[in-house]
Structure 1
Amino acid sequence: MNETIVCAVGNVATQPVYRELATGPSARFRLAVTSRYLDRGKNEWTDGHTNFFTVWANRQLATNTAASLNVGDPVVVQGRLKVRSDVREGQSWTSADIDALAIGHDLARGTSAFRRGSRPDAAVAAGPPQPEPDWETPAPAEAESQQGVEPAVVT
């Protein structure tokens, strides 16, 4: 199974379009990726060519994409590259799509507040919520006393 996995960093160019299909939720948006380079003659950064990709998301990723992304948001997209060519009405065209595996805000260019999505089916199946475990490592004296052993006293 040879697949081309890419990671593209760019901006959301169109508002995500969300659809409920028979196979599950689907969302798509256009991603603009512009290369930048240092123009040594002018000694300044310059924008290069802009590539546009159609990003496709499915299932829970589609739901979260539609709820989280807006036009202009800086994002990082990882997924499978699909290049399609066709001829319609005498015109040939080529499309570069990314079947997304992961999408996230680019935190090098701003901040984001993560909220875990609700999963109603999992919450019902799991039963009542469990208490949060104590992740702190006890001090050596506390660890021995918690095990019912008196701490050793050095004289």
Structure 2
Amino acid sequence: MNDTLVTLVGNVATQPEYRDSVTGGMVRFRFAVTARRWDREKQSWTDGPTSFYTVWAWRTLAANLSGSVSVGEPLVVHGRLKVREEDKDGQRRFSADIEALAVGHDLTRGTSAFKRVARADTSLTERPKDLVA
């Protein structure tokens, strides 16, 4: 209920890694977000610092991501921000993860072809009505 929702625009930095889990598929990849600013002195755009996030996706989104996204592609990622803190070698480190709720190609930088995925037939996994307690 009190989640911090963010929308990031950037590029896929590592190949998405897909794994099966007990609750369904899971995919994870690194995502690079670089701020661009207009430099008035140079009269041109310049890159600011790059922030890296680990994006996690589950179930159907994970399966669709693994078949649709490659390194270097521009994306828009919307999801829950999770900041982790850990002590490593006596140093305090922070990292930011995004639990993706929706992901799509950034169409300001190219085109994309959408292909709807057919959902599984739920009648194959439903319990017969006479066995439901």
- The one-letter amino acid of 1:19's match is R
- The one-letter amino acid of 2:45's match is W
Query: Alpha-carbon deviation of 1:89?
Result: 3.2
Residue 82 of structure 2 aligns with which residue? 82
Residue 22 of structure 1 aligns with which residue? 22
Query: Alpha-carbon deviation of 1:80?
Result: 0.4
Query: Alpha-carbon deviation of 1:118?
Result: 2.6
Separation in 1, partners of 2:70, 2:123: 29
SS of residue paired to 1:33? strand
Q: How does 1:1-155 map to 2 (within 5 A)?
A: 1-122=1-122
Separation in 2, partners of 1:88, 1:22: 30
Percent identity of equivalent pairs:
59
SS of residue paired to 2:60? helix
Could you say which structure has the higher strand fraction? 2
How many pairs align? 125
Residues 86-124 of structure 1: CA deviation (Å, up to 9, x unaligned)? 113323211100000000000010000000113232597
TM-score by length of 2: 0.89
Compare 81-90 and 31-40 and name the one that shifted more: 81-90
SS of residue paired to 2:108? coil
Separation in 2, partners of 1:99, 1:21: 16
TM-score by length of 1: 0.77
Query: Alpha-carbon deviation of 1:56?
Result: 0.4
Residue 129 of structure 2 aligns with which residue? none
Give 5+ residue unaligned stretches, structure 2: 126-133
Compare CA radii of gyration and give the structure with the larger one: 1
> More relative contact order in 1 or in 2 (CA 8 Å, sep 6+)?
2
- The one-letter amino acid of 1:92's match is R
- The one-letter amino acid of 1:30's match is R
SS of residue paired to 1:25? strand
Separation in 2, partners of 1:11, 1:123: 39
